[in-house]
Amino acid sequence: MKDDGENAIILSTDQNAAGCKKMRIAAIIAEYNPFHNGHLYHIQQTKEQGNATHIVAIMSPDFVQRGETALLEKSVRTRAALEHGADLVLELPTPYVLSNASNFARAGAEIIHAMGCVDVVSFGSESGNEKQLSNISDRLLTGAHEAFLKEYLASGLPFVKAQALAIEKTFGEGAGQLLEHPNDVLATEYIRALKIADYHGEILAVKREGAEHDGEEAAGVFASASAIRKMMSFQSDSISQKYVPCNAFLAYREDFVKNHGFSDLSRLERMILDRLRRMTDEEWREVPDVSEGIENRIRRSAGYVGTLEELYHSIKSKRYLMARIKRIVCCSLIGITKQHTEAPVPYLHILGFNKKGEEILTKMKKTALLPFSVSLKTLEQVNSDCRKLAEIESRSTDVFGLTMPTVFPAGLEYRRMPIKL
């Protein structure tokens, strides 16, 4: 990428940094929605601080954890990651992505454990303090706080706030301080999930630089993914090359032109409202994260609102957070059930790789605990668990294709080729 001085600190990715070093593989769980300078910085710091020679990104597919479609399809985001420091991109399957933070982290940890060759797991963090984050995850694992957690949840507090207060109440003042920051909250979930998955490698908390998570204000060459998504009109060069690496920016603009715009779930809002109005009590019982009567509020609101935004805002409350509502709506649309989200990850789906990624895959032939392939059709033939997940992954891709200005053909997931650099 062109060096304009201001962003020189993050634009010097060395794809051949491994040299003759012994292979040391680092894993990053990410969404890259879209890939931006903060992600590039994270990869570079993982190589530097973690002494990593190879990077594997475990990435959300066409839906993301906030309960929305990704702005760009996963092949575009995979290429952006590979062009800016990642060597192998594996898919974090949709059912786990459209789930709570605990399930999201669990699936990522299971994939890392199943690779059998990851030396360090790296994540962004407001604190950058692995020891404190690990201590909090240990406290969460004891379950000693759960009585207080239930009490605070019953009072109407959202989960993150309730959990922080429960930890403070159980272990003393200051014990849950880091749980006030979104990246640190997710970091503790990653660490807890990794311990449950029996991962024995290292963890690395890369201190977040610049813009806050989901913040509207940019800081230097850094802007949050949320802010960048709002900027991406391309009627002007509002994001130019300041917040996004040059090659990634060009790829995003090319995709925008080719598809006449980006994904937008509101293109399906009438179909979604119809689906929510017709769902039976039995169907609602199978939807992940449905409890506390939230299904009644959704069904009632769906009966009179005219848009998705009206639906979300009519349900949202201190107890029912926006991301949870959106995930429930997406799961209802796609057909994702608790059976999908509670099952262990059955396979590793390869989205893309480069030459160093091939080296990781060669090593995985000896170490992997789960089947892995670039072909979803191959994976679905392994066993019934693989088939169930592959079918729902294909369904989610088909739904994503309907949210594009130019509708994608059905069955694309079974014909999609991996990105190779």
DSSP 229-243: HHHTT-SS-SSTTTS
Q: Is residue 242 a contact partner of residue 11, using CB atoms and an 8 Å limit?
A: no
Residue 233: its pLDDT value, please?
A: 55
Residue 217: its pLDDT value, please?
A: 54
Under the banding of pLDDT at 50, 70 and 90, the label for residue 159 is confident
Q: Is residue 345 a contact partner of residue 112, using CB atoms and an 8 Å limit?
A: no
| Amino acid, res. 151 | E
| Amino acid, res. 377 | K
Q: Is residue 45 a contact partner of residue 15, using CB atoms and an 8 Å limit?
A: no
Residue 176: its pLDDT value, please?
A: 74
412 phi/psi in degrees, rounded to 5 = -60, -35
Q: Is 288 exposed, middle or buried (0-12, 13-18, 19+ CB in 10 A)?
A: buried
Q: Is 228 exposed, middle or buried (0-12, 13-18, 19+ CB in 10 A)?
A: buried
pLDDT in tens, 51-95: 999 999 999 999 999 999 999 999 999 999 999 999 999 999 999
Q: Is residue 348 a contact partner of residue 58, using CB atoms and an 8 Å limit?
A: no
Residue 229: its pLDDT value, please?
A: 80
Please tell me which residue, 177 or 418, carries the higher pLDDT value: 418
The shares of helix, strand and coil residues in the chain, as percent rounded to the nearest 5, are: 50, 10, 40
pLDDT in tens, 333-384: 999 999 999 999 999 999 999 999 999 999 999 999 999 999 999 999 999 9
Spatial CB neighbours of 78, under 8 Å, sequence gap ≥ 6: 59, 89, 351, 352, 419
Please tell me which residue, 68 or 149, carries the higher pLDDT value: 68
57 phi/psi in degrees, rounded to 5 = -105, 130
pLDDT in tens, 246-287: 899 889 888 888 988 899 999 999 999 999 999 999 999 999
Under the banding of pLDDT at 50, 70 and 90, the label for residue 18 is very low
Highest mean pLDDT among 109-118, 142-151, 157-166, 169-178: 109-118
Q: Tell me the CA distances in angstroms from 20 to 17, 255, 337, 364, one per residue in order.
A: 9, 37, 47, 20
Listed range (112-116, 170-174, 219-223) with the worst mean pLDDT: 219-223
Percent of the chain residues topping a pLDDT of 70: 90
Q: Tell me the CA distances in angstroms from 231 to 20, 206, 224, 285, 358, one per residue in order.
A: 42, 26, 11, 39, 35
pLDDT in tens, 185-242: 899 999 999 999 999 999 999 998 754 554 455 555 778 787 888 777 554 445 556 8
What gap in Å lies between CA 22 and CA 144, rounded to an integer? 42
pLDDT in tens, 222-238: 787 878 887 775 544 45
pTM: 0.90
Q: Answer yes or no: is pLDDT of 415 > 90.
A: yes
Cβ-defined contacts of 8-15 (< 8 Å, 24+): 9/41, 9/221, 10/37, 10/40, 10/41, 10/44, 10/221, 11/37, 11/40, 11/245, 12/44, 13/40, 13/43, 13/44, 13/84, 13/85, 15/85, 15/354, 15/356
What gap in Å lies between CA 144 and CA 267, rounded to an integer? 45
User: Which residue has 């290429």 as its token pair?
Assistant: 79
Enumerate the CATH 3.40.50.620 domain ranges in the chain, comma separated.
1-14+22-127+181-263+343-421
Q: Answer yes or no: is pLDDT of 2 > 90.
A: no
Closest of 69, 73, 77, 8 to residue 44, by C-alpha = 8
Domain 1-14+22-127+181-263+343-421: give its CATH architecture.
Answer: 3-Layer(aba) Sandwich (3.40)
| C-alpha dihedral sign at 31, 88, 370, 28 | negative
Torsion angle (degrees, nearest 10) of CA 286, 371, 40, 324: 0
What is the number of residues in the chain? 421
Residue 19: its pLDDT value, please?
A: 42
Residue 9: its pLDDT value, please?
A: 35
Residue 163: its pLDDT value, please?
A: 85
Q: Is residue 129 a contact partner of residue 204, using CB atoms and an 8 Å limit?
A: no
Residue 268 is given by DSSP the state G
Under the banding of pLDDT at 50, 70 and 90, the label for residue 393 is very high
Q: Answer yes or no: is pLDDT of 140 > 50.
A: yes
